[in-house]
Amino acid sequence: MSALPLRAPSLHNWLIALTVTTLATGKAAAVVSAPNGVHVLCLNTYLRPNYAQLLSGMLDLDYVSGLLVYVEWRHFEPAEGQYQWSIFDTALAAAQARGKVASFGLLVQAKSPDWLLKRCQVFTFTHPHPSVGTVTAPVPWDPVYKAALSRTIRALGARYEGHSALHNMVLNGPSSLFGVETNFPVKELAPEAAVKLDYTHEKFEAGWKESIDVFVDAFKQTRLSLGLHHELSLGERDLAMRLQVVRSIRDYAIHRESEHNGKRLIVRLLGLGTEHPDFFPGPFHETGEATTDYLALVEEVRDRADIAYEVARIWRLSNLGGKQQPLSPTRFQRVLDLGISHHAKWLQIKDFDVWDPRLNQPYAPFASALETAHQRLRGDELPTPRQKPPLFAVYYTWYSTAVGPHGKWSSWGQPTPSLLRPAGCDPDKFVGPDRLRDISSCEYPLIGPYDSDDPEVVRWHLRLAKAAGIDAFLVDWWGPGGWQKAPGLTQDAFEKVVLPIAEEEGFKVCLFDETAQFVKDFAQVKAWAADYLAKYQHSPAYLKIDGQPVYVIYQVPFAPRLTPEQATELHNFVEARVGPVYWIVDKIATGSDPATGAFQAFVVNEEWLALDWVDAFCGYGTFAVQRQIEYRQIAPRFAVFATLAHERGHRVLVPVHPGHDNRKLQEKPWVMPRRDGQTLRDFLLAAEDAPADYLLLTSFNEWPETTVVEPARTWADPYQYLRVLAEWNGVAFRPPPVPR
């Protein structure tokens, strides 16, 4: 049957320009056995005037194994029985000419043709995703709609079944939006629409199974793929019930494909890369630790089906009005690695991340990541990837409570005015609807204010750190000075609690010495450093790098007390009594580019770079020298910092921040927004790309400046930022029991 011109003028022009209009449809003798690899997801690509050229260009790339072409039903069949075969014919011809493959998916439901919408019952609903909005779609169990869809599926089967370049057909069923996933997401549904729809899980399941039968009969040789999801917004909301419905559909499709046609079903998840912890929390572990209910839908049947993942969005572009930022090549690589770790045979990547339509050439920034993914999916030998740098976190032990053994508040209150508390903060008072103590932090600990020398609290903190993949705590230390409240608190907490429990827990700790900044008696600073490092260095829990005990010297960037000459004196004094030490010096500043004179933030001055005994430089915080939070802003700064140090033979600890909020501490505060975890992700990535030798998380539990990742009662997910760290580390986060 000849194709009719599509209704939109742009589509009509495209059809006139299209050169490929027919296709040899000889049947293959067996199921297409295409190698694993990267498939380009083409969504509405056929609307572009250079459609055939685009497909050819992408298929010519060595790291592209095939295409997944999605076509809206309203475009494919603009009039009843009038099919635009050339859309699919063009893709198959391009793939076949290059020895590659194409797969097809018909977007139905909300993309149904106008002629059908006028004949069948429809309902209107609001979709949960803000980019979709209000949608009108056929009632999926309406007999007119089902009959029309079945007829179109059979027509596709009659033309393409068994074609040697057709890899798979995407199964359709009664989902609310496109009909390509076993989900029914609905945010709002008017009462009259609900009556018309009359949704039940039984109807949903039966509808999918009926559609599966049609596909199995229409495509006896060509493989089928099923998109899985358990988000059923209507009907029984019990999770176990929803999973039961989706598993029943999945198992039915696997059985029908195997028993009826002798083929393995392809099961797909369409959310690869999403940052929601319920979907892809981290790489797969054979223990099943990282498996969510969503991932289990495919992982638990990988012995009976093959797995493919479709990406959640176009990664090189921002999304949702800038709420979702573009990914750097490194983070894009992680998305691909994540899919591969979950047993993918195919990754389906949107065409904008493969091909730059503006330049009409491959999208260069992602090419290396795609090449690596292609090789890994094909099982080729790869070079050993660069290991992630160790992650250290600054840990504070300056807390005590009036209800604990010390009988006084330390670092939980703030007697002086601040922006949010002009009269100061008093932890003896209870404020707000939840009646929480009025502490000097803009968040609230999950376990409430605590004493830093409480053994069970410290043990919980160490276990949290290990669960998130933190390698060591740099423990903030003020020596045995009596000015602390309680006197000598940080010293006693480290020696009597933190170090012994770290030994029991198999965790590493070291001293993060603030005395060189804040203690005026330099002779005392030297003596404490030598005496206590000599005392602790032989503990199996004390952190060593290159076999030497680590000692970290803290300095504030805007008014450092320690001069290079004093630092060298401290070094000589300590090593004469302790032996070789691994010295890390907090030393950052602003400066000018020697070549151009341009301003530079986050550099190490020449007088410090000249100190060859300094093993590594670090920066506690960027707060005083640069107040930027996005990857694109901070990555160049970190690269300068790392380059300056590396060129002079020093290593670097690059800081990473989850956020900063000192509005209950200062009258003129500064807030670093957390952006729901994106700030921490951007800092992690920028630090890794610098490249950092070590990462310095600031902080684990500095509550007054609210730079914490320690679980907070005031976050929707108290463990949110530890989960971000675990995700970056590629480990499954399992929170330890909260202390009594």
The distance from CA 357 to its chain's CA centroid, rounded to whole angstroms, is 27
Instruction: Tell me the average pLDDT across 172-197.
Output: 90
595 pLDDT higher than 80: no
Q: Which of 125-134, 162-171, 370-379 has the lowest mean pLDDT?
A: 125-134
What tokens does 227 get? 């998109």
- The burial of 192, by beta-carbon neighbours within 10 Å (0-12 exposed, 13-18 middle, 19 or more buried), is given as exposed
Q: Which residues pair with 510 in a beta bridge?
A: 474
The per-residue pLDDT for range 514-545, each reduced to its tens digit, is: 998 888 899 999 999 999 999 999 999 999 99
Report helix angle 143-160 to 85-97, nearest 10.
Answer: 30
Whether the Cβ atoms of residue 556 and residue 514 lie closer than 8 Å to each other: no
| 376 three-state secondary structure | helix
* pLDDT at res. 17: 35
The pLDDT tens digits of the residues spanning 290-327 come to 468 888 899 888 888 999 999 988 888 876 555 667 88
pLDDT at 38: 97
Query: Can you tell me the distance from the alpha carbon of 184 to that of 201, in angstroms, rounded to the nearest whole number?
Result: 10
Distance CA(523)–CA(486), nearest Å, equals 24
Tokens 């003596």 sit on residue: 527
60-105 tens-digit pLDDT: 999 999 999 999 999 999 999 999 999 999 999 999 999 999 999 9
Instruction: Flag whether pLDDT at 160 surpasses 80.
Output: yes
Helix 720-729 to helix 455-468 angle (10° resolution) is 40
**Residue whose C-alpha is closest to residue 356's, from 66, 54, 62, 47:** 54
Question: Phi and psi for 66 in degrees, rounded to 5?
Answer: -175, -170
Which two tokens mark 474?
Answer: 């740099």
CB 165 within 8 A of CB 102: yes
Is beta strand 599-603 parallel, antiparallel or unpaired with respect to 589-592? Answer: antiparallel
Give me the phi and psi of 129, to 5 degrees please.
Answer: -80, 125
Residue 442, classed as helix, strand or coil, is coil
Q: Which residues contact 463 (CB under 8 A, 6 or more apart)?
A: 505, 736
pLDDT at 703 over 80: yes
Q: Provide the pLDDT for residue 386.
A: 59
Q: How much is the pLDDT for 14?
A: 34
Rounded Cα–Cα distance for residues 355 and 413 (Å): 56
Contact 499, 511 (CB under 8 A): no
pLDDT reported for residue 312: 87
3-state helix, strand, coil in the chain (%, to 5): 35, 20, 45
Nearest 10 degrees: Cα torsion 353, 634, 732, 349: 0
* CA-to-CA dists, residue 646 to 18, 64, 165, 602, 692, angstroms: 55, 38, 52, 14, 10
Domain architecture of the chain: domains with CATH: 36-378 (3.20.20.80), 391-729 (3.20.20.80)
* List of long-range contacts for 521-527, beta carbons under 8 Å, 24+ apart: 522/566, 524/479, 525/479, 525/570, 526/569, 526/570, 526/573, 526/574
Question: Which two three-digit tokens encode residue 667?
Answer: 């009258």
Q: Any alpha helices (H) in 488-537, and if so which ranges?
A: 489-492, 499-505, 515-518, 522-536
pLDDT on residue 275: 64
Mean pLDDT of the chain: 88
pLDDT at 319: 64
pLDDT of residue 269: 94
Residues near 479 by beta carbon (within 8 Å), at least 6 away in sequence: 488, 490, 491, 513, 515, 519, 524, 525, 528, 532
pLDDT band at 352 (very low <50, low <70, confident <90, very high): very high
Contacts of 422 (CB under 8 A, 6+ apart): none
CA distances from 681 to 37, 139, 168, 732 (A): 28, 42, 36, 17
Q: Is the pLDDT of residue 730 over 60?
A: yes
* 542 closest CA partner among 475, 467, 477: 475
Q: What is the pLDDT of residues 607-648, one digit of tens each?
A: 999 999 999 999 887 776 677 888 778 888 888 889 999 999
Q: Strands 472-477, 508-513: parallel, antiparallel or unpaired by DSSP? A: parallel
User: Cβ–Cβ contacts within 10 Å for residue 303, how many?
Assistant: 5
What is the SS3 assignment for 357? coil
For 419-435, the pLDDT digits (tens) are 999 999 999 999 989 89
∠ CA 665-668-670, nearest 5°, is 80
pLDDT above 90: residue 438: yes
**Strand (E) positions, 384-503?**
391-395, 430-431, 436-437, 472-477
| Distance spanning both ends of the chain, measured CA to CA | 75
User: Please, where are the H alpha helices in 415-480?
Assistant: 455-468
Using CA atoms of 152, 153, 155, 159 in order, give the dihedral in degrees to the nearest 10.
140
- Residue 401: other Cβ atoms inside 10 A: 20
Query: 283 vs 650, which has greater pLDDT?
Result: 650
Residue 130: closest CA among 332, 278, 322: 322
Q: HSE, CB side, 13 Å, CA atoms: give it for residue 624.
A: 14
DSSP assigned state of 737:
P
Q: Contact 18/11 with Cβ under 8 angstroms?
A: no
- What is the model's pLDDT at position 248? 95
**Distance of alpha carbon 8 from its chain centroid, rounded?**
39
- Which SS3 state, helix, strand or coil, does residue 615 take? coil
Q: Which two tokens stand for residue 498?
A: 């933190």
Q: How many CA atoms lie within 13 A of 212 on its CB side?
A: 25
Mean pLDDT of 555-584: 91
DSSP category for residue 3: P
* CA 72 from centroid of its chain's CA atoms: 30
State the DSSP code for 319.
Answer: B
Q: Beta-carbon neighbour count of residue 285 at 10 Å? A: 13
DSSP string, 167-212: EEEE-----SSSSSBS-B--SEE-HHHHHHH---HHHHHHHHHHHH
Q: Give the phi and the psi of residue 671 in degrees, each rounded to 5.
A: -115, 125
- What is the rounded distance in angstroms from the CA atom of residue 600 to the CA atom of residue 250? 57
Task: Name the 3-class secondary structure at 592.
Answer: strand
Residue 63 has φ and ψ, to the nearest 5°, of -90, 10
Q: Give residue 331's pLDDT band: very low, low, confident or very high (50, 70, 90).
A: confident
pLDDT of residue 381: 56
d(CA 394, CA 220) in angstroms, rounded, equals 61
Query: Measured on CA atoms in the order 372, 378, 384, 385, is the torsion positive or negative?
Result: positive
Q: Which residue has the higher pLDDT, 256 or 730?
A: 256
Which residue matches tokens 């008014």? 559
Using CA atoms, how far apart are residues 138 and 119, in angstroms rounded to an integer?
Answer: 10
Q: Count CB neighbours of 705 within 10 A.
A: 24
The residue behind tokens 């969005």 is 313
